[in-house]
Amino acid sequence: MKALTPNDQLFLWLERRNQPMHVGGLVLLKPPKGQSTVDYVHKVVADMRTYTQPVAPFSLRLKSRLGMWFWVEDDEFDLEAHFIHLSLPKPGRIRELLELTSKLHAAPLDRAKPLWEAYVIDGLEDGRVALYTKVHHALVDGVACMKMLQRSMADNPEIMDIPPLWANPNLRGSVQRSEASEGLVTLLGQVVDTAKTQLFSLPKVVKEVGRSLWQTSVADPDFVSVIQAPRSVLNRRITASRRVAAQSWSMERIKNCANGLNMTLNDVVLAMCGSALRSYLGELNALPARPLVAMVPVSLRKDDTATGNHVALLLANLATDTEDPVERIETIARSVNHSKERFASMNQTEIMNYVATMMGISGFNMLTGLAPKLQAFNIVISNVPGPKHTLYFNGAEVDGVYPVSLLLDGQALNITLNSYAGKLEFGLVACRRTMPSMQRLLQFLEDGLVELEEAAAKEVKANLKKRTAA
């Protein structure tokens, strides 16, 4: 029996009917050449149904004891409750697939069983097959899901008989949990060590909090404060209904914009989102006068090592009050760089404590809903690194990998993207009733990228003209 960590316990405490706490992924497969979709699906589904014994963490269910949650092996595991084969109604467009995914994603997982479900979905008019999987956030996070996906696929189409995600031995033990049987001395030692670490970080955190309060008071244009986010329709109470939208963009297009404008790839992504939100809210006559603020997880790693973490949650000014795309991306870049420069002088513990201190009131509101006017940001925009090469599942080419994230009350829209084989795959999730016609954001994202491409082309042409004149 393994105890959930405090963070993982939190995902269970947060869960309500309108706020299921699972994350998901939608994978599109191209059946092997020379094999019909019907034959491929029949074989794959039959094979997957033979894997009736899951490996950890997919074999674990919850058990409550003394007000805490623990993971235990499920001795009554029933694959039929977790793995389901569905077919889309005609005409089988991507629209029907996303509508079905939206309904599946809105339904909470049964806590009496292991907290995951997997679906094979056929009936797409173009012959592709979809795999939709959802896993509770208490079991894995988005980054872990991406790593699991990579390890459950093959690098070439010749590799067959790959076990499904829940039964893949390569994933055994990939989610580590703290042991419930830890001795009291060990536990107390960890508490003392943690307290020492927190205490040593206090002077730096106090200094940076004071600096932030001063920058707020003098209205530093590049500093995004925790009281800057405007009230928006994005931050209304959510219902249990969901709408999922997904689309891919060429990494080359985005990198060309970044190079032409001397920006980073993430700057371009945030500028696309800022432009799309400006257009979408403008159509609804709900665009705030002040710019929207995004909370963005950003890696601060300075080397290529794979161990440890150096990730910060920063606030970015999306410049939705600005019509000019160049001015918008420059504003975004300055706000992001301002936070990066601040975090560069802090270690991971100091960064976490600083962020927790500055966003404490907003976090309290998200947990309780008692102070809806207190919000540090309007939307979460997250970019998860993914595989750079094409993957295969039992001979079928993986044609798309789209993240499907979760929503919290007061955060009616989430934009998560991951890289895959030269593309950026955007997955948008929204409360269907709070965000009408949310799929319009996909066209607005494309419009935002086109604006940046035109601006980058002008910049490259101007620089070339300057070099020629010199």
Residue count of the chain: 470
What is the rounded distance in angstroms from the CA atom of residue 344 to the CA atom of residue 231?
Answer: 31
Token reading at 164 = 């499904």
Q: How many CB atoms lie within 10 A of CB 383?
A: 21
Query: Per DSSP, which regions of 375-463 are E strands?
Result: 379-384, 392-393, 396-404, 413-420, 423-430
Angle at 168 between CA 80 and CA 135, to 5 degrees: 60
Report strand pairing: 311-317 vs 243-250: unpaired
Angle at 444 between CA 236 and CA 380, to 5 degrees: 40
Question: Of residues 22, 82, 105, 137, which has the active-site annotation?
Answer: 137
- The answer to whether the CB of 192 falls within 8 A of the CB of 251 is no
* Nearest partner of 320 among 266, 281, 362, 346, judged by Cα: 281
Distance CA 274, CA 279 (A): 9
Distance from chain centroid for Cα 451: 25
Could you give the CA distance from residue 224 to residue 298 in angstroms, rounded to a whole number?
15
What are the Cα distances from residue 423, in Å, to 143, 201, 244, 385?
Answer: 17, 40, 19, 11
Q: How far apart are CA 40 and CA 36, in angstroms?
A: 6
Q: Mind giving me the DSSP string for 224-290?
A: --TT-PPP-GGGSPP-S--EEEEEEEEHHHHHHHHHHHT--HHHHHHHHHHHHHHHHHHHTT---SS
How far apart, in whole angstroms, are the C-alpha atoms of residue 86 and residue 106?
17
| Alpha-carbon gap, residue 131 to 164, rounded angstroms | 11
Helices and strands, counts by H and E, the chain: 11, 16
Chain Cα centroid distance, residue 21 = 13
The yes-or-no answer on residue 137 being catalytic is: yes
> Which residues are part of the catalytic machinery?
137
